[in-house]
């Protein structure tokens, strides 16, 4: 792989109003962030509101990021990486340690570095908390950690501990690498070259096409595509790279799919790609969890590509984290009057590489070895949904449509077919990936 071309340093300037007046609820959420550089979102003034929920888990779910973790006991992170651990008792102790209140990555690593094992760290933790002014402190109870292990076994998930050979090396190098990761699917994808594709949840027709093309072409070139399983660009990138390798990093537990519309996609990724999360099973994603997820997305990848994103968006947070981690940042340009392109255009203005196609990415990063070809089982599984009938109404639609979007009403008038028949045909073609739908009832050929 050839080295990256040197370019001017990129600095992200988020144009935000100087005043921020959150509601009482939002103020309480922001107060829990403390001063951690990645969880303090006051600088970007970004808050997510989640409207979907999941059933409550059958056991208490600790929220690892419910308060200002690392700065409660220790202030600065450490570069210490724990040794590999195979002893089940020590792995359970490490799980209990990171699930304990006020223990984040920096505190976790410092405790292991100073005391040699998670079991000894758990014994001394109440004394450390008392010295820090936290009274009646108790580490995570063993039954809670055992329940999490049982939930993982039911889902077929494996535990990756920082320091283990299976833990992704690129992620282990960032300042606050997740001490533990739950993985479900193909762990071998973590050892291949990885690129991140992120963008808006409300993608345009052209942005959607660009995300699919980039994911498919970069996957064919040998890269694994990682994203955050959000609607829009994330989901499109995952679907387009299922055959070549995709990793979805989740903000909540592996068993809590957000948004729920991506439930089927998450099942496909679990079978043919990889699902990752540092959160406990049953943990529903909250606002404070998304920046944590984004730093994993950036940390896994050697470059982050922003396809479409507003100026104030989670995608720009991912780009900022990528810069802090020493990753390459790239962006797809868009129309200046389209708010969905504002973030990408801002990144390019500030020095990010302008990306028109996969060849631009390969020119900067070099071409890795091609991805393994899908097995016969995988190929047969993909043949049916990708093949759309060429005759009848579907064939007539494909004969008329081009890459330039047209209104669905105009298409119905041109075909002279019943609206119901045209709607059914469009649905079939969309599921087959032959057409794309945009805002305002616009359709175009893929």
Structural domains in the chain? 59-155 (no CATH), 186-374 (3.40.50.450), 387-445 (1.10.10.10)
Q: Please identify which residue in the block is written with the tokens 């993985």.
A: 183
Closest CA to 180 of 270, 253, 71: 253
Low-confidence ranges of the chain (pLDDT < 50): 5-6, 8, 13-59, 65, 67-72, 75-76, 374-390
Task: Give the pLDDT of residue 416.
Answer: 79
Distance between CA atoms of residues 395 and 291, nearest Å? 45
> Do the Cβ atoms of 371 and 245 come closer than 8 Å?
yes
Q: Does the bond joining 259 to the residue before it have cis omega, within 30 degrees of 0? A: yes
Helix (H, G, I), strand (E, B) or coil at 249: strand
Task: Give the pLDDT of residue 413.
Answer: 77
Task: Give the pLDDT of residue 374.
Answer: 47
Q: Pairing relation of β-strands 158-161 and 180-185?
A: antiparallel
Task: Give the pLDDT of residue 391.
Answer: 61
Q: What is the phi/psi pair of residue 166, to 5°?
A: -80, -15
Distance between CA atoms of residues 259 and 276, nearest Å? 16
Task: Give the pLDDT of residue 15.
Answer: 40
Helix (H, G, I), strand (E, B) or coil at 195: strand
Q: Say what angle helices 233-240 and 263-272 make with each other, to 10 degrees.
A: 40
Task: Give the pLDDT of residue 7.
Answer: 52
Q: Pairing relation of β-strands 224-227 and 158-161?
A: unpaired
Task: Characterize 322-358 residue by residue with b for buried, 16 or more Cβ atoms within 10 angstroms of its Cβ, and e for exposed.
Answer: bbebebbbbbbebeeeebbbbbbbbbbebebbebeeb
Task: Give the pLDDT of residue 422.
Answer: 82
> Do the Cβ atoms of 310 and 343 come closer than 8 Å?
yes
> Do the Cβ atoms of 323 and 196 come closer than 8 Å?
no
Residue 198: CA count within 13 A, CB half-sphere: 32
DSSP assignment letter at 109: H
> Do the Cβ atoms of 246 and 271 come closer than 8 Å?
no
DSSP assignment letter at 432: T
Task: Give the pLDDT of residue 166.
Answer: 93
Helix, strand, coil fractions of the chain, as percent rounded to 5: 45, 10, 45
- Whether the CA torsion 188, 191, 195, 201 is positive or negative: it is positive
H/E stretch holding 225 reads strand 224-227
Q: pLDDT tens digits for 408-423? A: 877 887 787 888 788 7
Q: Please identify which residue in the block is written with the tokens 């329940």.
A: 147
Task: Give the pLDDT of residue 397.
Answer: 84
Task: Give the pLDDT of residue 63.
Answer: 60
Helix (H, G, I), strand (E, B) or coil at 16: coil
Distance between CA atoms of residues 148 and 96, nearest Å? 10
Q: Please identify which residue in the block is written with the tokens 């450390």.
A: 128
For the whole model, what pTM was predicted? 0.70
> Do the Cβ atoms of 296 and 278 come closer than 8 Å?
yes
H/E stretch holding 274 reads strand 274-277
């Amino acid at each position: 792989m050839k080295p990256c071309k040197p370019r001017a340093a990129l600095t992200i300037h988020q144009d935000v109003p100087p005043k921020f007046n959150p509601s009482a609820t939002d103020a309480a959420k922001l107060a829990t962030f403390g001063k951690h550089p990645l969880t303090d979102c006051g600088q970007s003034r970004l808050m997510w509101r989640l409207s979907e929920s999941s059933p409550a888990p059958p056991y208490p779910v600790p929220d690892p990021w419910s308060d200002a973790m690392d700065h409660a006991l220790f202030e600065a992170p450490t570069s210490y990486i724990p040794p590999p651990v195979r002893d089940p008792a020590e792995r359970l102790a490490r799980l209990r340690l990171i699930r304990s209140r006020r223990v984040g990555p920096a505190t976790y690593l410092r405790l292991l570095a100073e005391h040699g094992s998670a079991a000894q760290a758990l014994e001394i933790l109440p004394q450390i908390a008392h010295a820090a002014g936290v009274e009646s402190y108790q580490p995570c109870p063993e039954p809670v950690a055992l329940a999490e292990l049982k939930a993982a076994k039911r889902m077929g998930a494996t535990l990756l501990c920082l320091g283990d050979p299976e833990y992704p090396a690129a992620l282990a190098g960032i300042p606050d690498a997740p001490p533990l990761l739950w993985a479900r699917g193909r762990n071998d994808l973590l050892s291949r070259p990885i690129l991140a594709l992120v963008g808006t949840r409300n993608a345009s027709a052209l942005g959607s096409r660009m995300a699919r093309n980039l994911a498919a072409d970069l996957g064919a070139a040998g890269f694994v595509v990682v994203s955050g399983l959000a609607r829009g660009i994330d989901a499109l990138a995952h679907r387009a790279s299922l055959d070549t390798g995709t990793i979805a990093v989740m903000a909540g537990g592996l068993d809590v799919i957000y948004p729920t519309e991506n439930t089927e996609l998450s099942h496909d990724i679990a079978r043919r790609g990889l699902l990752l999360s540092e959160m406990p099973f049953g943990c529903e994603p909250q606002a404070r969890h998304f920046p944590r997820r984004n730093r994993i997305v950036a940390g896994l990848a050697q470059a982050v590509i922003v396809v479409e994103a507003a100026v104030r968006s989670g995608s720009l947070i991912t780009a900022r984290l990528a810069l802090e981690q020493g990753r390459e940042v790239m962006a797809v340009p868009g129309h200046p009057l389209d708010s969905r392109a504002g973030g990408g255009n801002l990144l390019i203005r500030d020095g990010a590489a302008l990306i028109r196609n996969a060849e631009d990415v390969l020119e900067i990063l070099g071409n890795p070895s091609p991805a393994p070809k899908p097995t016969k089982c995988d190929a047969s599984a993909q043949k049916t949904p990708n093949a759309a009938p060429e005759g009848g109404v579907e064939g007539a639609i494909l004969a008329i449509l081009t890459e330039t979007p047209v209104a669905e009403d105009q298409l119905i008038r041109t075909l002279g077919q019943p609206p119901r028949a045209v709607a059914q045909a469009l649905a079939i073609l969309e599921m087959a990936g032959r057409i794309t739908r945009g805002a305002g009832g616009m359709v175009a050929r893929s």
